[in-house]
Copies of this chain bind each other. A is one copy, B any other.
Amino acid sequence: MTRASTRKPGEAGGDDQAAVPRRLLEHATKLFAKKGFDRTSVQEIVEAAGVTKGAMYHYFGSKDDLLYEIYARVLREQTRQLESVASSSAPLRERLAAAASDVVVSSIDNLDDNTIFLQSMHQLSPDKQKAVRAERRKYHERFRGLVEEGQESGEFRTDKPADVVVDFFFGSVHHLGSWYRRGGTLSARQVGDHYADLLLDALRPPG
């Protein structure tokens, strides 16, 4: 549906020489995060990116496509990261802590994407929403697998359903954008470690 990937732009260029599709995605991300998807016009996006509407419609089938691409990119990256951490040979608690902390750090590093995720998903067309949800479910399931692993081994409490715990945790993660401010007292990693601790300690078998 999108023709964005028919031409790999290479890594060349500072900013205005960057490939047009990439520039469009970048500026669209910023604008969607700042004003919301519906409040951002295609005109604003192409102006910010320094191209014309025609160019945009050459690369993307619709405004929707732009949003979808942003989602897809984030999901791909987070899934990749989780997979790499979860399948390492470290002890379970360390793997879960790393996964939790990492997703916090990457969410903070890409606060814009995070904000968009939160606010704009329901503005996608139903088809695309379904695709995104499916991808996200896979991510959640992988994460939940770690929790269940610990429950089976007896390291984690078993009186809380694993999926409740996972939803509990990802709610917190998705909301980082509504309170975390860069330049505050806490670094992304510090927040990540706090969140990981809270998760792991909440999972300790009850006293």
Q: Which residues of A contact B (CB under 8 A)?
A: 35-36, 38-39, 118-119, 122-123, 157, 159-161, 164-165, 167-176, 178-179, 186, 191, 194-195, 197-199, 201-202, 204, 206-207
Inside 8 A of A164's CB, which chain B residues have their CB? 186, 191, 194-195
CB pair B165–A171 under 8 Å, yes or no, is: no
**Residue of B with least CB distance to A205:** B201
How many copies of the polypeptide does the oligomer hold? 4
Given A36-B38, A36-B123, A194-B160, residue A179 in contact with residue B202 (CB < 8 A)? no
**Chain B contacts of A161 at CB under 8 A?**
186, 194
Q: List 21 A-B contacts (CB under 8 A).
A: A36-B38, A38-B39, A38-B123, A39-B123, A157-B201, A160-B194, A161-B194, A164-B191, A167-B179, A168-B172, A168-B198, A170-B175, A171-B173, A171-B175, A172-B172, A174-B175, A201-B201, A201-B202, A201-B204, A201-B206, A202-B202
Q: Are B204 and A207 in contact (CB under 8 A)?
A: yes
Q: Which residue of chain B has its CB nearest to the CB of A37?
A: B38
Q: Which of B39, B119, B201 contacts A119 (CB 8 A)?
A: B119
Q: A38-B123, A164-B195 are in contact. List 8 more A-B contacts (CB 8 A).
A: A118-B118, A119-B119, A164-B186, A168-B195, A170-B175, A171-B175, A197-B206, A199-B202
Complex-state Cα separation, A195 to B198, whole angstroms: 13
Query: Measured between C-beta atoms, what is the minimum distance from A156 to chain B in Å?
Result: 11
